[in-house]
Amino acid sequence: MKLMTKELEKRFAQVGDQSEKENPTFIAKFFDPVGSGTWYATEYNPESKICNGYVTGLAFDEWGSFSITELESIVRPFGLGIERDIHFTEMSYHDLVPPKPKKRKLELQELKESKEQESDKER
């Protein structure tokens, strides 16, 4: 399977640099059909064939870069290779990984709930 199409290249060019965005958009998804690795691409350089994005399912989830050439060269059991999810629709980082509430915000919420419970007991 060809991982990078001309349509995807055009879309990456339209979206442009997302390195400074808090909630970037994933344009393409690549996955290992017999493993747990998944690569979500936010940017693509057609000259180097390098994507920037988010990788999940390996040792730990992380932001970084990955090579389309390297992904295309991987041969898995039964002759399978890394595939592009042809049914993938663009999604934001926060859609994939919901933001965690800040610790202080969570503490304040717990304090508020505790006070409400005490107030209910007094009634």
pLDDT digits (tens, 9 = 90+) for 12-45: 999 999 999 989 999 999 999 999 999 999 999 9
pLDDT value for 103? 60
14: containing domain: 6-122
pTM of the predicted model, to two decimals?
0.80
Residue 77 within any structural domain of the chain: yes
Residue 24 within any structural domain of the chain: yes
Q: Which residues make beta-bridge pairs with 91?
A: 26
Quickly list DSSP for 59-123: SS-EEEEEEHHHHHH---GGG---EE-TT---EEHHHHSPPPPPHHHHHHHHHHHHHHHHHHHH-
Total number of domains in the chain: 1
Q: Quick check: 84 and 29 in contact, CB under 8 A?
A: yes
Least confident of 6-20, 45-59, 101-115: 101-115
Residue 17 within any structural domain of the chain: yes
The single residue listed with the structure tokens 């344009």 is: 27
CA 75 from centroid of its chain's CA atoms: 23
